[in-house]
Amino acid sequence: MTVSTVYGIFGWPVAHSRSPALHNAAFHAMGIPAVYVAFPVAPQRLADAVLGVRAMGIAGLNVTLPHKTAIMDLLDDIDPAAAAIGAVNTVYRDGDRLIGENTDAAGLARSLNEAGVDLTAKHVTVVGAGGAARAAVVGLGGAGARQIRVAARRMEASRSLAAQLDGVLPNTSVAATAMESLAGVLATTDVLVQATSATLGDTPEARAFAASLPLLDLPAHAVVVDLVYQPRVTSVLRASQNRGLTTIDGTGMLLHQGALAFERWIGKPAPLTVMRSVFEAAS
């Protein structure tokens, strides 16, 4: 197949990214003459790299750490959801203009819908106040959650996130809550989202973090989501499973945010079965 179009991902580092395998498999499955490349872009060279995208006609990008916020000032326009989140993970072309979007929020909502979780009028608690937490709040609010409470180690970070997003999401209230008050909050929580990096790896610190959460206070119908996907069964998910709760790992969000980026670039539904098989093979 002759390659006519180039897509890619900017990150630093970026060699670990699964995006090239996912998207190249999707292009191949659909007979699209395109290639997806991982571009290691040092932070101080980001502006040069974006100029390169414009000059070389690269058709679309994913953006990962540490560039998700910094790239926003280098684009021609930002989608409202990405502006609310304060981060871009997808760039697409509109003629000669580069537009920034964030598919993490919608990817999370789509993954929960696929798992049979109806967020309509639900009460959600998000642990964390960083970029992943912001995307979670926007995605869950957009999917119909009635109330979202945000708890983080630093109360000022929770308050800042809640102040910025409360009133932005139609029919969804967003409020900060102290970690010390989490037991009472979880008692009325339908969906708990763990959106920090604290559960990365099977470490004593990750297990201690899980033990610090009052998971016993969650109602029996609650669903627990961890946005971390390595390991797939994190310390928080394992503790929740031991309680008999429904759990969802972070792979669904990762898969669906990639599929949504593909659909934005190509204008057709992503071959989700193909992408999922590639993802599962790499897990």
Q: Is there a single domain that holds both residue 269 and residue 141?
A: no
Which burial class, exposed, middle or buried, applies to 276 when counting CB atoms under 10 A from its CB (0-12, 13-18, 19+)? Answer: middle
Q: How sure is the predictor about 4, in pLDDT bands with cuts at 50, 70 and 90?
A: confident
Which pTM was predicted?
0.91
Catalytic site residues? Answer: 68
pLDDT, residue 28, reads: 96
Taking Cα atoms as reference points, which of 58, 99, 84 lies closest to residue 138?
84
Which amino acid makes up residue 7? Answer: Y
User: Can you tell me the distance from the alpha carbon of 134 to that of 87, in angstroms, rounded to the nearest whole number?
Assistant: 9
Same domain, 270 and 140: no
Helices (H), the chain: 19-30, 46-56, 80-85, 104-114, 131-142, 155-165, 182-186, 204-212, 235-242, 251-266, 272-282
Range of the domain at 50: 5-102+253-282
Question: For 27, phi and psi rounded to 5 degrees?
Answer: -60, -45
Same structural domain, 53 and 37: yes
Regarding whether 145 and 192 lie in a shared domain, the answer is: yes
CB distance 165 to 137 below 8 Å: yes
112/98 same-domain check: no
Integer distance in angstroms from the first to the last C-alpha of the chain?
Answer: 28
For the chain, give the mean pLDDT: 95
Average pLDDT over residues 190-197: 96
Residue 201 has pLDDT above 60, yes or no: yes
pLDDT score for 1: 56
Q: How far apart are CA 28 and CA 274, in angstroms?
A: 10
Mean pLDDT of 60-73: 95
Per-residue confidence at 235, pLDDT binned at 50, 70, 90?
A: very high
CATH number, position 203: 3.40.50.720
Q: Do 170 and 89 sit in the same domain of this protein?
A: no
User: Is a pLDDT exceeding 70 seen at residue 100?
Assistant: yes
Q: Which residues contact 205 (CB under 8 A, 6 or more apart)?
A: 198
How high is the pLDDT of residue 3?
65
pLDDT at 40: 97
**Shared-domain flag, residues 112 and 242:** yes
Asked if residue 131 and residue 92 are part of one domain, the reply reads no
275 with 236, same domain? no
Same domain as 117, residue 95:
no
Per-residue pLDDT of 75-94, as tens digits, reads 999 999 999 999 999 999 99
Q: How much is the average pLDDT of 132-157? A: 95
Domain count, the chain: 2
Residues 13 and 84 in one domain: yes
Question: Do residues 113 and 52 share a domain?
Answer: no
Per-residue pLDDT tens digits for 152-172: 999 999 999 999 999 888 889
Identify the CATH number of the domain in which residue 19 sits: 3.40.50.10860
Q: Are strands 90-94 and 97-101 parallel, antiparallel or unpaired?
A: antiparallel
